[in-house]
């Protein structure tokens, strides 16, 4: 590794209307280094990466690449300079094959015809170096998430990228695939390629990164080598305060059974699932991607039609045929994907908040604007939702705030049973903590919570009981306690 940094960003400033996103950020990156970029949502991570990737132009500040000042006017410029950004939502064309995607925009065409064989060979070579098995003739839409991700990495390599930015790369990967990805990243680093790894998963950062940079409120508040860095210290840098415990404690006595589910079935996705949740209890649904947890929750909520099974709330059997029925019965579902299934991004925060409770906030069909506003303010205060104005477009909010808006929607509805599907995915540590506190408060009031989560520390930290699923079935139930380990859960998840 050379002594002069490969990349040096100095004093980067960027403002949007109403938001001062970056307030003079400095960042150094050495060749072959794996740098973890941390920060709460809204701290400026994605804005900084957008500046680096050429999607935004900084208002002021310098960018020095390889000792030479650089100015990117478009993502094209950045790519040409050797910077590749891989977003959470991949920018691949689903209908084209992996090799076609890799060389999209770079085709060396002769008289308009692409050298297919040549591209395929080079693609095979790249995937070989990455150690990923892949069907080169299948359209990307039929590849797994991990394979699609590998395609993105291959594309970056085909363009001789020297810096690769990866945004939450492990969000949708299995453990095995995550290990594979880490091996790839370490190999890239060995070959002198610098990797900027954005993630909220602290375990991953400790396992993979060489150095950590923490952003807070648009500033770089610290750059530390990972070796010797303590977890609490890292969290403290991110939130600017010491988090006494990551998973807040509670002592709540469980009450009667609030939700009882028997024999749920839907094709191969959910096969004969039964469980019961009591008031004051958090039941976690653990398992790997594709185990059937989301599908189970959707069945309980009536979002999908079940082939068989009974659902009862507070002892009353229910014929739940649609979300409307479930909501009327006091069940609320916080979906896995808030942008696609949770929010109407084009409408205001206020409208999104009240969408499930309009019948209660109106008289004879006319909405009581004041009651609506009062309700919103109450929940916004409690959940610490940060918006300049409730009329703000929901799509403009950060991920954490968006999640809180959807949460507030169900709180306003005052459900008795809360179904949370990956409630803290893509959310910064500070907001996560607030959501955990909220969950504690809900069960303290006698509600029942079912939480599907891929985050094992979160599962062990928050759940009273853990139901592990695999391939559509319940493979085991664990009563949570101090001796329970992640391995126990994992063993049942892969059974």
Partner 1 sequence: MHAHARRLLADYGMLAVLLLLGLVFSGLTLEEQSAADASAARRVAARIRAGAPAGGRVLVAVRPTPVDTLLADNLARELPAAGLEVAEVVRGEPQAVRAALERIAAAGGRIDAVAATGRTGSWLVLTEMGELFPALGQPPIVAPDTFLWPNFLKADNLLNIANQIAVIAIMAIGMTMVIVTGGIDLSVGSLAALSAVLATKLIRDAFGGTAASPAGMTAACGLAVAACGAAGLVSGGLITLFGIPPFIVTLAMMLVASGLAYLVAAGQSIYQIPESFVWLGRGTGPFGLPHAVVLMLLLYAAAHVLMSRTTLGRYLYAVGGNREAARLAGVPVRRVLLFAYVACGLLAGLGGVIMASQLKSGSPTYGGMYELYVIAAVVVGGTALAGGEGKILGTLVGALVIAVIQNGMNLTNVESYTQKVVLGLVILAAVLVDRIRHR
Tell me which residues touch partner 1 (CB under 8 A).
Answer: 18, 301, 303, 322-324, 327-328, 333, 335, 340-347, 351, 354-356, 358-359, 362, 365-367, 369, 388-389, 391, 409
**Residue 104 phi, psi (nearest 5):** -60, 125
Residue 484 and residue 481: Cα distance in Å, rounded?
6
Q: How far is the CB of 118 from partner 1 (least distance, A)?
A: 39
Q: How far is the CB of 419 from partner 1 (least distance, A)?
A: 11
Task: Indicate the residue among 167 and 336 with the shorter CB distance to partner 1.
Answer: 336
Task: Indicate the residue among 207 and 344 with the shorter CB distance to partner 1.
Answer: 344
Q: How far is the CB of 281 from partner 1 (least distance, A)?
A: 24
| Residues recorded for the chain | 495
Task: Indicate the residue among 318 and 327 with the shorter CB distance to partner 1.
Answer: 327
Q: How far is the CB of 18 from partner 1 (least distance, A)?
A: 8
341-371 residues labelled b (16+ CB within 10 A) or e (exposed): ebbeeeebbbbbbbebbeeebeeeeeeeeee
Task: Indicate the residue among 241 and 363 with the shorter CB distance to partner 1.
Answer: 363
Residue 328 and residue 9: Cα distance in Å, rounded?
54
Q: How many CB atoms lie within 10 A of CB 210?
A: 18
Q: How far is the CB of 285 from partner 1 (least distance, A)?
A: 18
Q: How far is the CB of 340 from partner 1 (least distance, A)?
A: 7
Task: Indicate the residue among 362 and 382 with the shorter CB distance to partner 1.
Answer: 362
- Given the structure tokens 């896995």, which residue do they identify? 336
Q: How far is the CB of 367 from partner 1 (least distance, A)?
A: 6
Task: Indicate the residue among 161 and 406 with the shorter CB distance to partner 1.
Answer: 406
Task: Indicate the residue among 77 and 341 with the shorter CB distance to partner 1.
Answer: 341
DSSP string, 37-67: EEE-TTSSHHHHHHHHTTSS--SEEEEEETT
Would you state the structure tokens that stand for residue 433, as one six-digit string?
Answer: 């903590």
Residue 311 and residue 448: Cα distance in Å, rounded?
14
Rg of the chain over Cα atoms, rounded to whole angstroms, equals 24
224 within 8 A of 46, measured Cβ to Cβ? no
Residue 377 and residue 370: Cα distance in Å, rounded?
11
């Amino acid at each position: 590794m050379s002594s002069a940094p490969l990349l040096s960003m100095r004093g980067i400033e960027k403002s949007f209307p109403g938001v001062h996103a970056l307030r003079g950020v400095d960042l150094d990156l050495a060749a072959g280094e794996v740098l973890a970029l941390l920060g709460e949502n809204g701290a400026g991570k994605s804005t900084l990466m957008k500046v680096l990737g050429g999607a935004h132009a900084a208002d002021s500040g310098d960018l020095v690449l390889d000792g030479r000042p650089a100015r990117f006017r478009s993502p094209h410029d950045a790519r040409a300079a050797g910077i590749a950004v891989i977003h959470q939502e991949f920018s691949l064309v689903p209908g084209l094959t992996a090799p076609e995607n890799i060389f999209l925009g770079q085709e060396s065409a002769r008289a308009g015809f692409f050298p297919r064989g040549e591209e395929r060979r080079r693609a095979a070579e790249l995937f070989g170096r990455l150690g990923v098995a892949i069907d080169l003739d299948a359209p990307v839409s039929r590849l797994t998430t991990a394979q699609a991700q590998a395609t993105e990495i291959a594309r970056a390599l085909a363009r001789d990228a020297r810096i690769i930015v990866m945004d939450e790369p492990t969000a949708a990967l299995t453990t095995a695939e995550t290990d594979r990805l880490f091996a790839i990243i370490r190999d890239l680093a060995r070959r002198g390629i610098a990797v900027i790894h954005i993630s909220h998963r602290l375990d991953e950062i400790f396992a993979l990164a060489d150095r950590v940079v923490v952003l807070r409120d648009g500033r770089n508040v610290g750059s530390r080598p990972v070796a010797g860095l303590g977890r609490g210290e890292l969290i403290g840098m991110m939130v600017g305060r010491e988090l006494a415990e990551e998973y807040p404690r509670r002592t709540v006595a469980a009450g009667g059974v609030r939700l009882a589910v028997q024999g749920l079935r839907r094709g191969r996705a959910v096969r004969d699932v039964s469980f019961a949740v009591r008031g004051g209890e958090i039941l976690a649904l653990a398992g790997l991607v594709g185990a059937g947890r989301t599908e189970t929750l959707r069945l309980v909520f009536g979002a999908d039609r079940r082939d068989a099974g009974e659902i009862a709330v507070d002892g009353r059997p229910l014929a739940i045929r649609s979300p409307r029925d479930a909501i009327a019965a006091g069940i609320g579902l916080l979906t896995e994907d808030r942008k696609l299934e949770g929010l109407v991004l084009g409408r205001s925060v206020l409208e999104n908040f009240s969408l499930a409770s309009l019948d209660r906030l109106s008289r004879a069909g006319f909405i009581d604007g004041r009651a609506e506003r009062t309700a919103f303010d109450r929940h916004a205060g409690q959940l610490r939702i940060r918006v300049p104005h409730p009329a703000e477009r929901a799509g403009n909010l950060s991920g954490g705030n968006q999640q809180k808006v959807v949460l507030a929607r169900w709180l306003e509805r005052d459900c008795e049973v809360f179904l949370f599907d990956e409630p803290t995915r893509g959310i910064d540590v500070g907001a996560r903590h607030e959501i955990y506190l909220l969950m504690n408060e809900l069960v303290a009031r006698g509600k029942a919570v079912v939480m599907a989560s891929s985050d094992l520390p979160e599962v062990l930290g928050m759940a009273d009981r853990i139901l592990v699923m695999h391939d559509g079935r319940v493979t085991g139930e664990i009563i949570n306690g101090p001796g329970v380990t992640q391995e126990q859960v994992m063993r049942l998840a892969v059974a």
